[in-house]
Amino acid sequence: MIEFSQRVQRTPRYPFSGAHDLPEDMVLMASNEVPDAPLPSVVAAIEATLGKANRYPDPTNHALRRALSDRFDVPAQRIAIGAGSCDLLMACGDVLLEPGAELVYAWPAFSVYPYLEAATGATGIRVPLNEQHEHDLDAMLAQITVATRLVIVCNPNNPTSTALPLDRITRFLEAVPRHVCVLLDEAYCEFNTLDDPDASVDLLAKHPNLVLLRTFSKVYGLCGLRVGYALCGDGRFVEAVDRIRQPFFCSITAQAAAIEALKHQDVIAERVERTVVARVELESALNELGIEPAASQANFCWFPLPEDGPDEAAVVKGLADRGVLIRGGTGQGREGFLRVTYGTPRDNARFVAALTQTLGR
């Protein structure tokens, strides 16, 4: 019998959405994806790489870092690329954490954060969200000790959809000791209308301990290709995460698709507009069912199920039986809640109809 490491035993299983073995007409609202297929020009860029697949990708991701550097006015030496931003998230754990070190994050937040402590043997400290399902930054600050190496702030937060205004984040950063890395997970920042999504980039100049984690998986709609990036306050972070990962983590296809996708900011703006419309429409549909969702700044909503109705498992199943796949809160850290990704207007209408029936209204 082979023997597995402690790490395997410590590591939880990722709660998959179950979206890959389903009837064709199922509405997929479980993974915060956008419903749009890649743009024709992005598909063309992808296809152009396929005939070169006998060659390794550029391990420095030079062209993509250059494109991101031009877009955000951050030097390329301070930009890290990953095979999805989760690759950078795990790498961040590997370069900062070890047994005896501490990691602070809010809870519920992104279901991948607990993997960092499992992978490294560090101690994870979870700080409950406030009543509005938002990060409680003062409570997080109070958890920082000499052992703290990393604090993660997810803004907007997955699974609760809420965001904090940038001035609150700014004050937090000013209070965090310089030896602590602050990872601001901005996977959904483009959907946030509280602040200009690019305003946080200005914080990098003042805070070398800051890392902004972003992705092509969400508003850019390329999650199937796995490409994300980090804008960093210190180039040494980029060197560190590059040193500990396998050398060719981002495929030529993913790099080319990301570079092309960045050129179409008009399409990104349209997707954000559609999201804001869905946000308002779904909120009023939920209100009519007596449900109060959290204040969403993302492309999904988060809400408690009515106490006098069927429980979470029954609702998740009732929706699936009616062709709508969503996430129950239990796998996301809070029982009795649902997380629902906005789809097309037709998807959203199907969800509302299915929920109305499932709740027996």
Ligand X SMILES: *Cc1c(COP(=O)(O)O)cnc(C)c1O
Select 172 or 229, whichever has its Cβ closest to ligand X: 229
Q: Does 163 bind ligand X (CB under 6 A)?
A: no
From the list 203, 107, 100, 196, the residue with the least C-alpha distance to 153 is 107
Which segments of 35-113 are extended strands (E)?
79-82, 102-107
One of 140, 154, 225, 282 touching ligand X (CB under 6 A): 154
Q: Does 85 bind ligand X (CB under 6 A)?
A: yes
One of 57, 96, 110, 301 touching ligand X (CB under 6 A): 110
The angle subtended at Cα 185 by Cα 256 and Cα 224, nearest 5°, is 35
Select 110 or 352, whichever has its Cβ closest to ligand X: 110
Select 250 or 282, whichever has its Cβ closest to ligand X: 250
Closest distance of CB 135 from ligand X, Å: 12
Select 39 or 112, whichever has its Cβ closest to ligand X: 112
Q: Does 86 bind ligand X (CB under 6 A)?
A: yes
Identity of residue 173: L
Select 296 or 358, whichever has its Cβ closest to ligand X: 296
From the list 30, 48, 31, 72, the residue with the least C-alpha distance to 229 is 72
One of 38, 57, 84, 343 touching ligand X (CB under 6 A): 84
Q: Does 162 bind ligand X (CB under 6 A)?
A: no
Sheet holding 300-304, edge to edge: 300-304, 337-341, 327-328
Query: Directed axis angle between helix 265-288 and helix 345-358, to 10°?
Result: 20
Of residues 198-237, which lie at the interface with ligand X (CB under 6 A)?
215, 217-218, 223, 228
Closest distance of CB 145 from ligand X, Å: 25
Q: Does 183 bind ligand X (CB under 6 A)?
A: no
Closest distance of CB 217 from ligand X, Å: 3
Q: Does 158 bind ligand X (CB under 6 A)?
A: yes
Q: What is the DSSP string of 317-339?
A: HHHHHTTEE-EESGGGT-TTEEE
Closest distance of CB 312 from ligand X, Å: 20
DSSP 188: T
Nearest residue relative to ligand X (C-beta): 84
**Neighbour tally for 6: CB within 10 Å:** 9
Select 149 or 218, whichever has its Cβ closest to ligand X: 218
Long-range interactions of 67-70: CB distance < 8 A, separation 24+: 67/258, 67/259, 67/262, 68/229, 68/231, 68/262
Select 90 or 352, whichever has its Cβ closest to ligand X: 90
Closest distance of CB 229 from ligand X, Å: 9
**What's the first-to-final CA gap in the chain, in angstroms?**
55
The C-alpha atoms of residue 132 and residue 318 are separated, in whole angstroms, by 27
Cis peptide before 156 (omega within 30 of 0): yes
Q: Among 43-51, 82-90, 251-259, 283-291, which window interacts with ligand X (CB under 6 A)?
A: 82-90
Q: Among 58-66, 79-87, 143-151, 315-323, which window interacts with ligand X (CB under 6 A)?
A: 79-87
Parallel, antiparallel, or unpaired for β 228-232 and 210-215? antiparallel
Closest distance of CB 32 from ligand X, Å: 6
Q: Among 21-29, 59-67, 81-89, 230-238, which window interacts with ligand X (CB under 6 A)?
A: 81-89
Helices (H), 206-264: 235-244, 252-262
Select 78 or 218, whichever has its Cβ closest to ligand X: 218
The C-alpha atoms of residue 83 and residue 249 are separated, in whole angstroms, by 6
Number of residues that bind ligand X (CB under 6 A): 14
From the list 118, 121, 116, the residue with the least C-alpha distance to 98 is 121
Identity of residue 27: V
- Residues interacting with ligand X, by CB under 6 A? 32, 84-86, 110, 154, 158, 185, 187, 215, 217-218, 223, 228
